[in-house]
C-alpha cells in the first residue's frame, strides 16, 4: 500500500519560532509538493520539487523554504512562524508521467500563537 | 494556463438523492482531470481520473464523472447519496508539464438524513 506520511498531525508553535514539517513517501516518486489549505481558498501550492536538491516556487512561497536532500523526504520550513501561517499543510507526491495522480499525506494542522 | 472552477462551495442533498458536483476547467492542451475527496482532518484521496479513452469514468464508492470537451466540464455524480459521502470534494487538472496540478476551491457536500 503506497504511503505518504507527515511527521505531525497537529502542531502548536509560537510566533517567531522556526518550524519544520517533514514528509516522507515510499513510492520512489520524483515529484513532491507542499500545499496549504484554508477554508474557501482550496489548496494553494507553496513549493514543489522535481528531483533531489531541486525546487520550484509555487503560488505562495513567501515565508517558507524547503529542503530535499533525499528522494523520499521533502521538508517545509517556516523560518519565523507568524499567526497568518496557521493552516492545514498537505504534502503530496507524484510519479513521473502525465497520467499519474498525486498521493497525499494526512496533513498537519499547524496553529501559530 | 490551466484553471479549475467548482460551482457551489456548499451542496446539500438528502440521503438517497442524486449527487451532482460541478467542475469546469480551462486548458490549452488535452486535459487530465481528477476528482479527490477529503474527509474531515484527513488528506485527499483519489476518487477517479480521466486521461484518455472513454469519457465516462467510474470511480470508488459509486461515483462517476463524464468528460465533456465541448462544455469543458467534468462533473461528478452519484445516483444515491449516503451519509458517509459527506466530505469536501476537489476537482483538479494537471498541467502540460505533467508535474503541476491545478485544484478547484472545493465543494463541501452535506448529506441530510
C-alpha cell at position A56: 520550484
Chain-centroid distance of CA B1 in Å reads: 20
Sign of CA dihedral A77, A80, A83, A84: negative
DSSP class of B89: E
Residues of B in contact with A109 (CB under 8 A): 41
**pLDDT score for B52:** 81
Inspect the interface and report whether the beta carbons of A105 and B43 lie closer than 8 Å: yes
Q: What is the DSSP string of B55-68?
A: SEEE-GGG-EEEEE
Residues of B in contact with A4 (CB under 8 A): 43
Q: Which residue of A has its CA nearest to B48?
A: A101
| pLDDT tens figures, A58-75 | 999 999 999 999 999 999
Q: Which of A29, A42, A94 to mutate to test the interface with B (most CBs of B within 10 A)?
A: A42
Nearest to A104 among B32, B44, B94 (CB): B44
The Cα–Cα gap between B42 and B49 comes to 20
**pLDDT score for A104:** 95
Query: For A85, phi and psi rounded to 5 degrees?
Result: -100, 5
| pLDDT tens figures, A28-54 | 999 999 999 998 888 999 999 999 999
**pLDDT score for B31:** 78
> Is residue B44 less than 8 Å (CB to CB) from chain A?
yes
Q: Which residue has the cell 521533502?
A: A74
Given a cut of 80, whether residue A98 has pLDDT beyond it is: no
Inspect the interface and report whether the beta carbons of B41 and A107 lie closer than 8 Å: yes
Residues with Cβ < 8 Å from B106, sequence gap 6 or more?
A42, B6, B9, B38, B88, B89, B90
CA distance to partner chain B, nearest, from residue A17 (Å): 24
Residues of B in contact with A31 (CB under 8 A): 99
Pairing, β A108-112 against β A10-13:
parallel
CA distance to partner chain B, nearest, from residue A97 (Å): 6
Residues of B in contact with A29 (CB under 8 A): none
**pLDDT score for A1:** 67
Beta bridge partners of B78: B19
The Cα–Cα gap between B74 and B25 comes to 8
Sign of CA dihedral A8, B92, B4, A76: positive
The Cα–Cα gap between A54 and B107 comes to 33
Q: Which residue of B has its CA nearest to A6?
A: B43
Inspect the interface and report whether the beta carbons of A96 and B101 lie closer than 8 Å: no
Q: Which residue has the cell 485527499?
A: B44
| pLDDT tens figures, B20-68 | 999 999 876 677 899 999 998 889 999 999 988 888 999 999 999 999 9
CA distance to partner chain B, nearest, from residue A79 (Å): 24
The Cα–Cα gap between A107 and A9 comes to 6
CA distance to partner chain A, nearest, from residue B17 (Å): 25
Residues with Cβ < 8 Å from B4, sequence gap 6 or more?
B23, B24, B25, B26, B91, B92, B93, B102, B103, B104
Amino acid at each position: 500500500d503506497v504511503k505518504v506520511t507527515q511527521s505531525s498531525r497537529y502542531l502548536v508553535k509560537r510566533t517567531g519560532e522556526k518550524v519544520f514539517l517533514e514528509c516522507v513517501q515510499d513510492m520512489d516518486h520524483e515529484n513532491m509538493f507542499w500545499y496549504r489549505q484554508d477554508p474557501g481558498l482550496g489548496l494553494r501550492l507553496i513549493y514543489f520539487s522535481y528531483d533531489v536538491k531541486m525546487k520550484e516556487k509555487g503560488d505562495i512561497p513567501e515565508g517558507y523554504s524547503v529542503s530535499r536532500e533525499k528522494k523520499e523526504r521533502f521538508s517545509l520550513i517556516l523560518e519565523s512562524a507568524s499567526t497568518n501561517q496557521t493552516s492545514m499543510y498537505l504534502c503530496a507526491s507524484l510519479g513521473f508521467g502525465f497520467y499519474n495522480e498525486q498521493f497525499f499525506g494526512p496533513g498537519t494542522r499547524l496553529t501559530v500563537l | 494556463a490551466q484553471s479549475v472552477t467548482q460551482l457551489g462551495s456548499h451542496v446539500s442533498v438528502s440521503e438517497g438523492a442524486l449527487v451532482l458536483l460541478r467542475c469546469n476547467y480551462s486548458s490549452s492542451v488535452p486535459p487530465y482531470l481528477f476528482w479527490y475527496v477529503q474527509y474531515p482532518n484527513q488528506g485527499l484521496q483519489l476518487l477517479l481520473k480521466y486521461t484518455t479513452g472513454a469519457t465516462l469514468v467510474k470511480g470508488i464508492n459509486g461515483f462517476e464523472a463524464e468528460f465533456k470537451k465541448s462544455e469543458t466540464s467534468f462533473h461528478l455524480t452519484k445516483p444515491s447519496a449516503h451519509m458517509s459521502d459527506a466530505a469536501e470534494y476537489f476537482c483538479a487538472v494537471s498541467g502540460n508539464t505533467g508535474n503541476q496540478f491545478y485544484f478547484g476551491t472545493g465543494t463541501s457536500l452535506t448529506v441530510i438524513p
